Chains A and B, each alone.
Chain A
């Protein structure tokens, strides 16, 4: 399969991006300043992320669609207000995660943002479950751009007047040069920010405006260190078909009354795990020294038994030290439990810790 390019490819090139293939797309891993500088700039100013490789799935339908989607997602979609978003999962019958996603109620249906590597499969699964009853568009004509960091609200509001009024996890249609763009207040860095869905042929011009106003392009490398410091999961690492939302410590995203009624795909397992507990669970892990424990690093307890594995680990530039997430046996998941990480044949001490590593500064309410 040929590698795809996003509408911002040339802009990335002009900004001296170093590219990497990710989920079939040629994406910028970093620009000339490097991951640490890009990470810090996002935390202190405003970073622009090209996330156009992610899937933008529009599903159109009325009340029947809501009923059918509630058979798939563990959410109260009937009560989801227009232009409000929820984090959720597409699961198999055993509650194994096919993908994690953001679903937003829009007029005449829903917009679902899917992971790039999963989007084709998600589309297939959803089409089958929904029996092609509804119009579904995995929109390739639109780009998706995120802007994240404390200065983002001012920078974006100067270009798209009114976005300042959005509350966290809500969105609306705005206009940019006479075209409709959909903006949500959300993100994946632990910072206040927005995601903007707009037509491909506007993406370059729009992004250049953000840059003119003081934001900088940020690559996937810093996106990973930012999300890890924020304690957020990355599909294919913290989440996959062999892990459930309860094991991933994401039960906050499951609507309680939906669990008690139990009529969605995976509900049996979810219900059972919520009642009986789980054998493994996702935790934050902080190595004591400077050593970095990367994905697949084995975790041991104090009596040298193998109790789990790291799923993501790197150096956190804002924490100024190594950070990691992983799965451990439930009895070792308490905060401050001492564990050991096997790196290059040596065991290094670490502690189970709360997440996030870096405190979020999301905007909670609308500031109208």
Chain B
């Protein structure tokens, strides 16, 4: 039987997504070595100049190197994406497990709180919270992380409700496993595949959210670079210097697309109906 990875790489688009992501991660990790210029060096005399040999993707309104800023911006976007993804996954797993496994009033309370979260558009919620706490790398990632756990909790709760009825859970009770042990060792591991798919899709939406925040000036602050803020600076000059807004826009699109392709591929590769082969 082919393993999950083998089946994932039979999926052409998912493979493309994975490769693009690897390249982005590579670019972010090695930004200091890959960047042709210091991303914070200002050249007022060369404002908005197009691509040249020394500045391959051109210069922004302050004359800074757009390629270098994008490489450093990849660090910000990807790390916000991953870290906020991890936070929301963690909170979602805890909330979903408590709700689904223990049920009763715990379930009622958690799911009502989740519903309240879901009625408020996430973007507005995040902007409001950032406005209160003050924009910074940490506040953005924590706030995004804490505001997007509801999807995980809901999906996990549903999975747990169905898994905990399975005979093997009763068998585990019959040989004396404690309820925590049953939750952690028997129930949760059987609920993970939909969550893995959700994480990849969620990271994509977090990257988009962070870019939007930075575009509006609520995200990562100057002089630190972010794809959203570069795009925002280029917006005013879109007709005279289209390269400023175009390149970060392409980067955002590629990253989000790659995560979505990978998520789609994972969804197929982790499909229990294909895995069990029964």
Chains A and B form a bound pair: no
Chain A positions within 8 Å of B, measured between CB atoms, are none
Chain B positions within 8 Å of A, measured between CB atoms, are none
